[in-house]
Each structure stands twice: as structure tokens, then as C-alpha cells.
Amino acid sequence: MKFTVLTLFPEILESFFNSSIMKKAVEKGLIEYNLVDIRDFALDKHRTCDDAPYGGGAGMVLKAEPLALALDSVKASVKRTVFPTPSGVRYTQKIAEELSEEKEIVLICGRYEGIDQRIIDLYVDDEVCIGDYVISSGEIASLVVIDSIYRLCDGVITQESLEEESFQDTLLEYPHYTRPEVFRDQKVPDILLSGHHARIVEWRHGKRLEKTKKNRPDLWDGHDLDRRMK
Ligand code: SAM
């Protein structure tokens, strides 16, 4: 899987690709990345990439020409191109799974008020919203998308770690504990120390149901009854 990211601030993304599990995945050749500085495609000597919006209003808009040239340089029109934006469809685990099947994804990082609509019309396949709030940087939104996808790619983390994760089957995950057995008078639940595998599975499933019902009634309502009983 290759991530090609168009950004005004490549340094924000560079540190992610150079850390932790992602760094190992890149070293093993499981993940490739290409950070494209949109400013390299600006047309004037001041390397201007933004301008005031037509029709007036606050803030600036990322200009179409540098973005289009940057997108052309990576042949984005024949690749799956994703623009994270608050006005996109809600980004979910299902979309992450679908995108993880692609060979390459091109991401556009918005800034200021956003990007010229004509870029969306001409190049973008998916507009995705990472949550119902507004952040100032498309780089952070793109990192959320990248992080959710690359961990699903073959060989990056074990299959076992992906099983029973939150959202896999509309339930949230069960709680985890590690050493020490007692921490500030809080003891690890006895069942987890019992060595009784079947009962541990049952306890964890119960906790998943409890947590989903409490924290995410929206997921709970859509969860089918047969599965709840298992
Ligand atoms: N004016 C835009 C609006 O009201 O929808 C917000 C622009 S925001 C300040 C700047 C950039 O951050 C966006 O273009 C987008 O790339 C990114 N961004 C902010 N919030 C986001 C969200 N919830 N989901 C995805 N991207 C987001």
C-alpha cells in the first residue's frame, strides 16, 4: 500500500511515517509513502497557494492551480483520491477496510477554509469527515485516515490483534488489564486470572455489550439481536 499525500506541511506527516509501527512497516516494504509539498507547484515567486474566496467571507482558500499541478504530478486522476473535509461522509471502519484494498491512495490536506471546489469536482473520489467537529489541519485528518488503513494491511500487525476490535461487528471492545494485579486498591477482575478460557470469552463479550449500550446507543440500536445473545 502506498500513501501519497499532498500538503503544505510535509514535516507534520514525516514524523508519523518515521515512528513506531509505521516506521517498521515502511522498513519492511509493506507501506510506501510520498509526501508532496503543494508549494513546489505554486506559480509565482512568493510560492502563493491560497487566495481570498469569491463571493466574500472570512479566511482563505487553497488555490486550484498548484493543487492541480501537484495532483497531476502523481497521476491522481487514475488513483483513488481522498479529501478529508468536515463536509464529507462520516468516515468509518467500513470505509477504512474498503480503502485498505487499494494499491495506492492519494490524500489532499486542506487548510484555512478548505480547497477550491473545482479540485474536488475534477479529482476527488471520496470526501470523508473524521468526526462532527472542525480541526484546523487537513494533515491531522489525513493521518487519522492513513493510520486507520495501514494497520489493516497484510503483515503490519497480527490478525489476532484486529479481531474483536471496536467497530468490527458494531460492538465496542472489552476492557484490558495488565500487571500489576492490584493498582491503587483496584484489583484485576478474578475471571481474568482464572485461566478459564471459555468463561473469559463470555465475560469479555458481556463487557462489550455493556460498554456499547452505555457509550454508544447509536451502535447498540443497530446491533442485531442474534449476535447480542452469542
Ligand atoms: N471551512 C471548513 C468547513 O466549515 O467545513 C473547515 C475548514 S478546516 C478549518 C481546514 C481543513 O481541515 C479542512 O479543509 C479539512 O482538510 C480539515 N478538516 C477539519 N475538520 C475536519 C473533519 N472533521 N474531517 C475531515 N477533515 C477535516
Express each pLDDT in 136-185 by its tens digit.
Answer: 999 999 999 999 999 999 999 998 888 878 888 889 999 999 999 999 99
- What separation in Å is there between the alpha carbon of 86 and the centre of ligand 1? 5
> Counting atoms of ligand 1 from 1, which one is nearest the CA of 133?
23
pLDDT at 230 over 80: no
Q: Residue 212 to residues 132, 205, 208: CA-CA distances in angstroms?
A: 19, 11, 6
Q: What is the pLDDT of residue 164?
A: 75
Q: Which residue type is seen at 80? A: R
Listed in sequence order, the DSSP H helices in 87-169 are 93-99, 117-123, 138-150, 159-162
pLDDT digits (tens, 9 = 90+) for 99-148: 999 999 999 999 999 999 999 999 999 999 999 999 999 999 999 999 99
Mutational test site, ligand 1, from 89, 108, 134, 142, max ligand atoms within 8 Å of CB: 134
The answer, yes or no, to whether the previous bond of 180 is cis (omega within 30 of 0) is yes
> Which residue's CA is the closest to the ligand 1 atom numbered 21?
86
Lowest mean pLDDT segment, chosen from 105-109, 157-161, 208-212, 224-228: 224-228
Per-domain boundaries in the chain: 2-150, 164-229
The answer to whether 108 and 115 have CB atoms below 8 angstroms apart is yes
The answer to whether 37 and 89 have CB atoms below 8 angstroms apart is no
Query: What is the 8-class DSSP label of residue 194?
Result: S
The answer to whether 127 and 85 have CB atoms below 8 angstroms apart is yes
Q: What is the pLDDT of residue 227?
A: 56
Domain 164-229 class in CATH? mainly alpha
- Whose cell is 487548510? That residue is 111
Q: Say how far apart CA 142 and CA 108 lie, in whole Å.
A: 8
Mean pLDDT score across all residues of the chain: 95
Instruction: For helices 20-27 and 10-17, give the axis angle rounded to 10 degrees.
Output: 80
Q: What is the pLDDT of residue 181?
A: 98
The reply, when asked if residue 120 is annotated as ligand binding, is: no
Q: Report the CATH architecture of 2-150.
A: 3-Layer(aba) Sandwich (3.40)
Which residues line the pocket of ligand 1, CB cutoff 6 A? 84-87, 109-111, 113-114, 129-131, 133-138, 141
